């Protein structure tokens, strides 16, 4: 009997060793350390749940209620719209969409812990569809951020907000595309495209990655922006742009953008040969504001802009980004190619008249 048990145990041990050798994943599962959900670290990279990311980010996503005075009863405020917002700083700064608060006479912010605040509007920017609010409160949950994170197509993302005032809701998807432009309600800007559902009330909420870090501010679905019946196409304003606009609004109450008044066209290899230009990067001046800074500085049609303040020009979008970040009233040195020869022009930056 003892010999039988010994043979059985030995056979079992040999079988187990063979299985561990043949199937490496069993070794990982057997010896993986157990981690409590109360820890501040994700369980492991293979987990199917994104509970860690939601628990980390959701307390900083607030509900926003847009209140306006009633036309019939001038002293009566009524809720006219709703949206979401993201607490960006322990000083009480909250980012949301411009279109959520643009027409509000009063803005109410509701935190997930049940606290309610009347928010002060710090500033709003129509072009990027962003606005900054501030509440006076302590112990505010702040959204985690990571300036080194670079959104890429295929990254898993979660959209957190308050759709249809149902209460905080999280939807799931991936980043479908980056650098989408021309989809804004109010102007051209680069969006992140995602298939995570964004519905009415989600506007201004957080798009986060699987670590709960802010990827962008949810702004619209394709259907909302174009009135076309579509599903799975939504947009968010990237974190990098959000942070830059937020800082400008906090500093000045509005976004002050530089302006030189040039209408340009990107150069390609064929055009470079026609213009006797050896390099292929640059923007050709096709027209100018007759009263703009470029006209006064001496730019000419068919000049090829190569550099602005020693920063190489790669395209129209690049020129716009460089110029809008320059402070009106300052001078910029622009390198252009004119008749095949480099020319340097000093231009006094103006204030964007479209603001």
105 is in an annotated binding site: no
Among 58, 84, 203, 221, the active-site one is 203
Both tokens of 159, joined, read: 């959209």
Both tokens of 224, joined, read: 């909302």
Among 58, 84, 125, 129, the active-site one is 129
264 is in an annotated binding site: yes
Longest dimension (CA), the chain: 106
* 243 classed as catalytic: no
For residue 354, the 8-state DSSP code is: T
Strands (E), the chain: 61-69, 77-87, 93-96, 106-110, 116-125, 130-134, 156-161, 169-180, 191-194, 206-208, 214-221, 234-238, 258-259, 262-266, 283-288, 304-308, 311-312, 331-338, 341-348, 350-351
Quick check: 286 and 313 in contact, CB under 8 A?
Answer: no
β-bridge mates for residue 69, sequence order: 77
* 203 classed as catalytic: yes
265 is in an annotated binding site: yes
* 147 classed as catalytic: no
Among 58, 84, 99, 125, the active-site one is 99
Quick check: 143 and 86 in contact, CB under 8 A?
Answer: yes
175 is in an annotated binding site: no
17 is in an annotated binding site: no
349 is in an annotated binding site: no
Active site positions, annotated: 99, 129, 203
Annotated binding residues:
260-265
Known binding-site positions for substrate: 260-265
């Amino acid at each position: 009997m003892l010999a039988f048990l010994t043979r059985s145990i030995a056979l079992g041990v040999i079988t187990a060793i063979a299985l561990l050798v043949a199937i490496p994943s069993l070794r990982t599962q057997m010896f993986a350390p157990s981690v409590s959900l109360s820890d501040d670290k994700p369980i492991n990279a293979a987990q199917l749940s994104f509970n860690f990311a939601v628990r980390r980010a959701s307390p900083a996503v607030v509900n926003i209620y847009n209140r306006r005075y009633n036309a019939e009863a001038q002293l009566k405020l009524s809720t006219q719209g709703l949206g979401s917002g993201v607490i960006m700083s322990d000083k009480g700064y909250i980012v949301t969409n411009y279109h959520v608060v643009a027409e509000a006479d009063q803005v109410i912010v509701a935190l997930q812990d049940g606290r309610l605040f009347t928010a002060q509007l710090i500033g709003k920017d129509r072009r990027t569809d962003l606005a900054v609010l501030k509440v006076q409160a302590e112990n505010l949950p702040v959204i985690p951020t990571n300036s080194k994170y670079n959104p890429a197509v295929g990254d898993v993302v979660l959209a957190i907000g308050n759709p249809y005032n149902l209460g905080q809701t999280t939807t799931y998807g991936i980043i479908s595309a980056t650098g989408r432009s021309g989809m804004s309600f109010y102007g051209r800007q680069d969006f992140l495209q995602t298939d995570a559902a964004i519905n009415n009330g989600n506007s201004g909420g957080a798009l986060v990655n699987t670590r709960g870090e802010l990827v962008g501010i949810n702004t619209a679905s394709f259907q909302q922006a174009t009135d076309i019946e579509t599903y799975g196409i939504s947009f968010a304003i990237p974190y990098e742009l959000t942070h830059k606009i937020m800082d400008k609004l906090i500093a000045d109450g509005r976004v002050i953008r530089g302006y030189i008044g040039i209408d340009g066209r990107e150069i390609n290899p064929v055009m470079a040969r026609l213009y006797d230009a050896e390099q292929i990067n640059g923007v050709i001046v096709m027209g100018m504001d007759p009263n703009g800074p470029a006209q006064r500085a001496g730019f000419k049609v068919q000049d090829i802009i190569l550099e602005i303040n020693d920063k190489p020009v790669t395209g129209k979008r690049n020129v716009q980004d460089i110029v809008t970040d320059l402070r009106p009233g300052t001078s910029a040195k622009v390198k252009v190619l004119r008749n095949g020869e480099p020319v340097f022009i000093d231009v006094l930056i103006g204030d964007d008249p479209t603001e």
